[in-house]
Amino acid sequence: MELPFAESWKIKMVEPIRKSTREEREKWLAAAHNNVFMLKAEEVYIDLLTDSGTGAMSQGQWSAMMLGDESYAGATSFYKFESTVKKLFGMRYVIPTHQGRAAENVLFSYLVKPGMVVPGNAHFDTTKGHIEARGAKAIDVTCDEAKDTQLEVPFKGNVGLKKLEKVLKENKGNVPFMVLTITNNTVGGQPVSMKNIRETCELCHKYGVPVNMDSARFAENAYFIKTREKGYENKSIKEITKEMYSYVDSMTMSAKKDAIVNMGGFIATKKKDWYEGAKSFCIPYEGFITYGGLAGRDLEALAVGLDENTEFDMLQTRIHQVAYLAQKLDEYGIPYQRPAGGHAIFLDADRILPNIPKEEFPAQTMTCELYLEAGIRACEIGYLLADRDPVTHENRFGGLDFVRLCIPRRVYTDNHMDVIAAACKNLYDRRNEITRGVKITWEAKLMRHFTVQLERLGK
């Protein structure tokens, strides 16, 4: 008999979690204004809000932390981190930051000016926020296939090259860089192929536009290239990573994802002028250029995390768990962005709750329902997160409306996946009874989904 698949690690430390009653959850959700970001973590049974900073570090990372050099300037830990980044990505200049959006803040402060245009394959919300807050425009150039959630194609995160060329042509001289996000979080953790990375970069460079790789989940992207793209099956994750970054000019990274640290990020670039420019923003925003908002011990954990998580077994274990959950949802006929992505399952709320109009935010409604059903905290990646158009102030209903079930790395077991799938099934079975959604009672101007206050209609 062939042996079944199992994790490439074993568990050394555990953290208790607690179930709650529906009555308790009703009370807690109301107190949180029907926004799951406002719940206390102890009110949550299974936390699928994000895979960001929520992973379980390895013994290698924890032991490296004891070697943290906490010198203000020139810490040994910085040089270890810098050499790992240089080796993995082939980038000459490296600036640490406390997380991904801080890297965006520092680099974009130097590069983005009012009236500029920044194309990208579905900019993440903080990335879009940092562009729009500077009076520039973020234009989505993701391939059209991403919009059809039931279409099964291997690289749904790809850039639509024709769309990109149109933006580059129409805005000559006004595009400071293009953002290439791997994997494409917003459309479902969908990967970008090596071919598309190469062609996107060639096209941008033809128009004199540099490419910045938004790298939060680069290792998962490399895993998909290895397992789905012809010619890469025998290459290592590290070799694939090296090739992906050979085409781009710079990277910003939220290390809280694929480096499996609780906090951390960085900018790396091949461009000396960008490095010099960004450096001067790092100091006032993040701190001196050899720590950038991080403790020496954080830099140690980050370096080890990057190295360990660019090994195939680690990624295979992770992606296998996401696929396991997807397979359960398939058994129950629950629609999600197909095929399953790297870090999460994106449930298609428009299809699951057809009785809820867009104006009543179907994905947010479902996020509330899932919490009430089983204490599972998911995250709306849809019309709320899309924010209002900065010019018209209208809600942006043009994109997809997802409930993201985001799986932290090495934290939950497949038994937890079974619970999640069963809760989704219960909700799906009574989908026709859910006829009213939610209404905004208070919202922030930018990145409103974090703090929005909502009312459940008909309650």
Which residues are CB-contacts of 196 (< 8 A; sequence separation ≥ 6)? 155, 158, 159, 161
Under the binding rule (CB under 6 A), the answer on residue 290 touching ligand F0G is no
Q: Which of 47, 69, 125, 249 is catalytic?
A: 125
* Residues of span 113-132 touching ligand F0G by CB under 6 A: 124, 126-127
Which of these is catalytic: 89, 110, 124, 247?
124
**Which amino acid, residue 136?**
A
Using CB under 6 A, which of the segments 69-77, 95-103, 193-201, 389-397 binds ligand F0G? 95-103
Query: Residue 403's closest CA among 442, 375, 376?
Result: 376
| Residue 119 CB partners (closer than 8 Å, separation 6+) | 138, 139, 140, 141, 163, 164, 167, 168, 175, 178, 179
Judged by CB under 6 A, the residue of 119, 160, 188, 265 near ligand F0G is: 265
Which member of 25, 33, 101, 270 binds ligand F0G (CB under 6 A)? 101
124: annotated active-site residue: yes
Question: Is 37 tagged catalytic?
Answer: no
- Cα separation, 184 vs 215, in Å, equals 10
**Residue 281 annotated to the active site:** no
Q: Does residue 301 have an active-site annotation?
A: no
Residue 361's Cα: distance from chain center in Å? 21
User: H-helix or E-strand containing 245?
Assistant: helix 237-246
Task: State which amino acid sits at residue 403.
Answer: V
Residue of the chain from 35, 58, 142, 181 that contacts ligand F0G (CB under 6 A): 181
The nearer residue to ligand F0G, 201 or 294, going by C-beta atoms, is 294
Close Cβ partners of 211 (under 8 Å, ≥ 6 residues apart)? 177, 178, 179, 180, 200, 201, 204, 205, 247, 248, 249, 250
d(CA 169, CA 433): 50
Q: How far is the CB of 217 from ligand F0G (least distance, A)?
A: 7
Measure the N-to-C terminal CA separation of the chain; round to a whole number of Å: 54
Q: 287 burial class (0-12, 13-18, 19+ CB within 10 angstroms)?
A: middle
Beta bridge partners of 454: 440
Helix (H, G, I), strand (E, B) or coil at 430: coil
Give the H or E element holding residue 120: strand 117-120
Catalytic residue among 216, 278, 349, 423: 216
Residue whose beta carbon is closest to ligand F0G:
100
- What beta strand segments (E) does 137-230 contain? 137-140, 178-181, 211-214
Q: Is 114 helix (H, G, I), strand (E, B) or coil?
A: coil
User: Given the complex with ligand F0G, which of 182 and 349 has the nearer CB atom?
Assistant: 182
* 449 contacts ligand F0G (rule: CB under 6 A): no
Kindly state whether residue 50 participates in binding ligand F0G, applying the rule CB under 6 A.
yes
100 belongs to the binding site for ligand F0G (CB under 6 A): yes
Least distance in Å: CB of 170 to ligand F0G?
26
- ∠ CA 54-408-99, nearest 5°, is 40
Q: Does 214 qualify as catalytic in the annotation?
A: yes
**Residue 221 is a binding residue for ligand F0G (CB under 6 A):** no
Interface pick for ligand F0G out of 34, 52, 54, 200 (rule CB under 6 A): 52
Give the shortest CB-370-to-ligand F0G separation in angstroms: 17
User: Based on CB atoms, which residue is closest to ligand F0G, 263 or 422?
Assistant: 263
**Phi then psi dihedrals of residue 226, to 5 deg:** -60, -40
Number of residues that bind ligand F0G (CB under 6 A): 15
Task: Tell me the closest approach of the beta carbon of residue 282 to ligand F0G, in angstroms.
Answer: 15
Binding to ligand F0G by residue 254, rule CB under 6 A? yes
Catalytic residue (choose from 69, 214, 298, 387)? 214
Q: Which is nearer to ligand F0G, 129 or 356 (CB)?
A: 129
Residue with tokens 């939950």, as numbered in its chain? 412
The reply on whether position 241 binds ligand F0G by CB under 6 A is no
Question: From the list 256, 270, 416, 448, which residue makes contact with ligand F0G (rule: CB under 6 A)?
Answer: 256
Structure tokens at 51: 């895979």
47 or 69, CB closer to ligand F0G? 47
The single residue among 43, 214, 229, 369 that binds ligand F0G, judged by CB under 6 A, is 214
Does residue 125 have an active-site annotation?
yes
Encode 417-455: b = buried (16+ Cβ within 10 Å), e = exposed: bebbbebbbebbeebeebeebbebeebeebbbbeebbbe
Nearest residue (CB) to ligand F0G, 34 versus 185: 185
The residue among 185 and 269 lying less far from ligand F0G, judged by its C-beta, is 185
123 is catalytic: no
Nearer to ligand F0G, 101 or 156 (CB): 101
In DSSP notation, 289-319 reads TTTTT--HHHHHHHHHHHHHTTSHHHHHHHH
Residues engaged in binding ligand F0G (CB under 6 A): 50, 52, 99-101, 124, 126-127, 181, 185, 214, 216, 254, 256, 265
Q: Which residues are catalytic?
A: 72, 124-125, 214, 216, 257, 449
